[in-house]
Amino acid sequence: MTRNFIIAEYSVSQKCFHVHDVKSMLTHNIENMIGEGDSDYLPIGIFETEIQAHDYIESVREQMKKYGSGTWVNDLLKNIFK
């Protein structure tokens, strides 16, 4: 049995975040691929728990408020891939 990780996603068009498990994300993406849905949510993090995903999203929100939409991205990526 494989672990079902939690995915944090961001929608550029809606400017909002979403959290769900890998199975739900893949199902949703396949539905979009075959034309049964319309979404631009992009995965921005993979976590073991929903709490970790929500904490991460909160830190991203804080950075977006503080720095706008671009200047903080390199620092964020450095922290993700330590």
- Beta carbons within 8 Å of 9's beta carbon, 6+ residues apart: 17, 18, 19, 20, 25, 41, 42, 43, 44
**Predicted TM-score (pTM) of this structure:** 0.77
Grade residue 76 by pLDDT with cuts at 50, 70 and 90: low
Count of CB atoms situated within 10 Å of the CB of 72: 15
Q: Would you tell me the crossing angle of helices 73-80 and 50-67 to the nearest 10 degrees? A: 150
Q: What is the pLDDT of residues 38-63, one digit of tens each?
A: 788 899 999 999 999 999 999 888 88
The pLDDT value recorded for residue 71 is 55
What is the rounded end-to-end Cα distance, in angstroms, of the chain? 28
- Rounded to an integer, the average pLDDT of 20-30 is 90
